[in-house]
Amino acid sequence: MQVTKLRIARLWIEDRFSKRDIFALFIFVLLIGFSSLLCAQSASAFQSVDPMIGTGPEGHTFPGATVPFGMVQLSPDTQIRPFKQSYKWAAGYRYEDTTILGFSHTHFSGAGHSDLGDFLIQPISGDVKLEPGEIDAPGSGYRSRFHHETEKAEPGYYAVTLDDYAVRAELTATTRTGVHRYTFPAGKPAHLLLDMRSSIYNYTGKVLWSSLRLRADGTVTGMRETRGWAPARQLYFAMRFSQPLTGHELYDREPLPQEYKGFATPGTSPADTQAIAGRGLIGVFDFGELKQPLVVKVAISPVSEDNAIANLNAEVPGFDFDAVRADARRAWEKELSVLDIKTDPAMRKSLYTALYHALMAPSVAMDTDGSYRGPDYQVHKAEGFNFVSTFSLWDTYRAEQPLMTLLEPPDRTRDVVRSLLVSQKESPFDILPIWQFQGLETWCMIGYHAVPEIADAFMKNIRGFDANEALDAMVASATYAPYGHLGEYMKLGYVPVDNDG
């Protein structure tokens, strides 16, 4: 019966079309099929990711450059508001904004609270203004207008044109280093502005102390300590340029009254001062008119300026932006390929973007030599594992970390468990992390959700940590009387409502 139907169909076609028409139709169908095959092949996991998803209302994601579980998240900041007005800008960037303040090196993705936005850099052509200025007053400060049509965002890479400066900005990253490439317009002097005051969830006095130094070899180093979500958090950086400096200016625009300033450092002006310390630091770095793009590489460290330099030397010894971008792409292609999702394009984009976001944390929080800063604010060294942080444990214990045990190699979960255990040992309170980032505790949210993450790893036969030590840490966290009124609960079997503030 089937053969008869096919014969009738063939006779019908031959009766109505010439052999030439039939051949053309065959080629057309073949080309359509081949084109569809190419489209299906080109829509790789990497290409399915859209980093712009979540940058709109209350998504709290950033579009900038990072690598899987990277310590650097280099991304544009569109507004820095006072603390009580900051929730919408928890990731620094919001899609409906029309101006960019600059590009900072640390961001949370998807968090309901925030901090970070460390070491904001803005490329400037022409005259330099030291304050951000107003959104509705173009030219009033260093912020620049931009249009989404000039943006490009993919895993490990972000680009945009800053309209007010006619500068093309490109960003990529390694684990501990952000790499910028700025193409300046011809005929105008090129500058970089570093605003060390800028911080997500900002307020007057958040920067407790900071320092900035131009070294003899042209390397810029510095640090700042902030009183934010994680109090007394210290972060250090080292920055190098692909083009020689023609000048620099270092300023301290201290926002609070100073009863005592001490004695001035050598130098009679911002232009001949090599180092500065204070709570309102700004650096301006001049390059004259450039005929080729300026590459800027910035490494961070939780420990010291020297460690930041070591991170920079280890991860990006040269100034090959495209090579760093290619490495970042390969890293993301490898991580995203753990799942082969076959569905319609819209759903595929949504799922791979969700996977992309899931592969950002817990993030590396140590230097290339294993040094990290623990919850006791002291410097420690990870031996035989990677110290990781950004533990939003009450969010991740249910689904994300169990998913990571299925998708990631066991070593990844081993790093998580060992990082939790050393944090418990180093904690002044002798308990496991609650909501920790960059090794420091925030005390945000309730419960002790590190316990189920450790138990889940053990139940899945993931080893490489001391099981008795892990059990002791879990019990210590579950029985620490001052935390969450556990003492009353253990004594009475309940927490009196009048004691639960």
Distance CA 40, CA 139 (A): 46
CB 446 within 8 A of CB 453: no
In a domain, 327, yes or no: no
436-460 mean pLDDT: 95
Same domain, 448 and 395: yes
In a domain, 435, yes or no: yes
Rg (CA), the chain: 27
Q: How confident is the model at residue 23 (pLDDT cuts 50, 70, 90)?
A: very low
- Res 83 pLDDT > 90: no
Q: How confident is the model at residue 500 (pLDDT cuts 50, 70, 90)?
A: low
pLDDT of residue 257: 81
Question: Which has the higher per-residue pLDDT, 259 or 481?
Answer: 481
In a domain, 497, yes or no: no
| Strand blocks (E) in 110-255 | 120-125, 144-145, 152-154, 157-162, 167-173, 177-183, 190-195, 207-214, 220-226, 233-241, 247-252
In a domain, 501, yes or no: no
Among residues 295, 298, 249, the alpha carbon closest in space to that of 274 is found at 249
User: What secondary structure letter does DSSP report for 175?
Assistant: S
pLDDT of residue 411: 97
Same domain, 371 and 242: no
SS3 (DSSP) at 282: strand
Question: Which has the higher per-residue pLDDT, 445 or 52?
Answer: 52
SS3 (DSSP) at 436: strand
Same domain, 253 and 310: yes
29-51 mean pLDDT: 61
Q: Burial, 216: exposed, middle or buried (Cβ in 10 Å; 0-12, 13-18, 19+)? A: exposed
What range does the domain containing 486 cover?
361-490
80-to-21, 60, 139, 276, 466 alpha-carbon distances in Å: 65, 14, 17, 24, 44
In a domain, 336, yes or no: no
pLDDT tens digits, 159-201: 999 999 999 999 999 999 999 999 999 999 999 999 999 999 9
pLDDT of residue 42: 47
Same domain, 410 and 367: yes
Mean of pLDDT over the chain: 91
Same domain, 401 and 451: yes
Q: How confident is the model at residue 264 (pLDDT cuts 50, 70, 90)?
A: confident
Q: How confident is the model at residue 13 (pLDDT cuts 50, 70, 90)?
A: very low
- Residue 494, Cβ neighbours under 10 Å: how many? 9
In a domain, 331, yes or no: no
pLDDT of residue 25: 37
Q: How confident is the model at residue 81 (pLDDT cuts 50, 70, 90)?
A: confident
The enclosing domain of 245 has a CATH number of 2.70.98.10
pLDDT of residue 389: 96
- Res 10 pLDDT > 90: no
User: What secondary structure letter does DSSP report for 256?
Assistant: S
Same domain, 307 and 374: no
pLDDT tens digits, 85-141: 889 998 999 999 999 999 999 999 999 888 999 999 999 999 999 999 999 999 999
- Res 19 pLDDT > 60: no
SS3 (DSSP) at 200: coil
Percent of the chain with pLDDT over 90: 82
SS3 (DSSP) at 281: strand
In a domain, 496, yes or no: no
pLDDT tens digits, 281-293: 999 999 999 999 9
CB 190 within 8 A of CB 288: yes
Q: What DSSP line would sit under 457-496, residue for residue?
A: HHHTT--SS-HHHHHHHHHHHHT-TTGGGHHHHHHHSS--
Same domain, 12 and 150: no
Whole-prediction pTM value?
A: 0.90
- Res 325 pLDDT > 60: yes
Question: Which has the higher per-residue pLDDT, 501 or 126?
Answer: 126
Among residues 436, 420, 410, 413, the alpha carbon closest in space to that of 382 is found at 420
How many Cα atoms within 13 Å fall on the side-chain side of residue 9? 6
Among residues 94, 108, 110, the alpha carbon closest in space to that of 228 is found at 108
- Res 489 pLDDT > 70: yes
Same domain, 195 and 260: yes
pLDDT of residue 112: 86
The enclosing domain of 426 has a CATH number of 1.20.1050.60
Q: What DSSP line would sit under 449-462, residue for residue?
A: THHHHHHHHHHTT-
Same domain, 237 and 117: yes
Kindly compute the dihedral angle of the four CA atoms of residues 439, 400, 61, 46, in this order, to the nearest 10 degrees.
Answer: 110
258-281 mean pLDDT: 90
- Res 452 pLDDT > 50: yes
Residue 36: in which H helix or E strand, if any?
Answer: helix 19-42
The angle that helices 400-407 and 450-459 make with each other, rounded to 10 degrees, is 30
Q: 160-172 burial by CB neighbour count: b if 16+ within 10 A, else e?
A: bbbbbbebbbbbb
406-423 mean pLDDT: 97
| Strand blocks (E) in 163-206 | 167-173, 177-183, 190-195
- Res 366 pLDDT > 50: yes
In a domain, 441, yes or no: yes
pLDDT tens digits, 416-435: 999 999 999 999 999 999 99
- Res 143 pLDDT > 70: yes
- Res 37 pLDDT > 50: no
- Res 399 pLDDT > 60: yes
pLDDT of residue 501: 57
Among residues 107, 46, 71, the alpha carbon closest in space to that of 315 is found at 71
pLDDT tens digits, 190-236: 999 999 999 999 999 999 999 999 999 999 999 999 999 999 999 99
Token pair belonging to 232: 């007394």
For residue 363, the cross-strand partners are 389
- Residue 243, Cβ neighbours under 10 Å: how many? 17
Residue with tokens 């207008």: 145
pLDDT tens digits, 368-391: 999 999 999 999 999 999 999 999
Total number of domains in the chain: 3
Question: Which has the higher per-residue pLDDT, 33 or 393?
Answer: 393
Same domain, 283 and 178: yes
- Res 461 pLDDT > 80: yes
| Cis before 255 (ω within 30) | no
Same domain, 426 and 477: yes
Q: Please state the φ and ψ torsions of residue 357, each to the nearest 5 degrees.
A: -65, -35
Same domain, 37 and 65: no
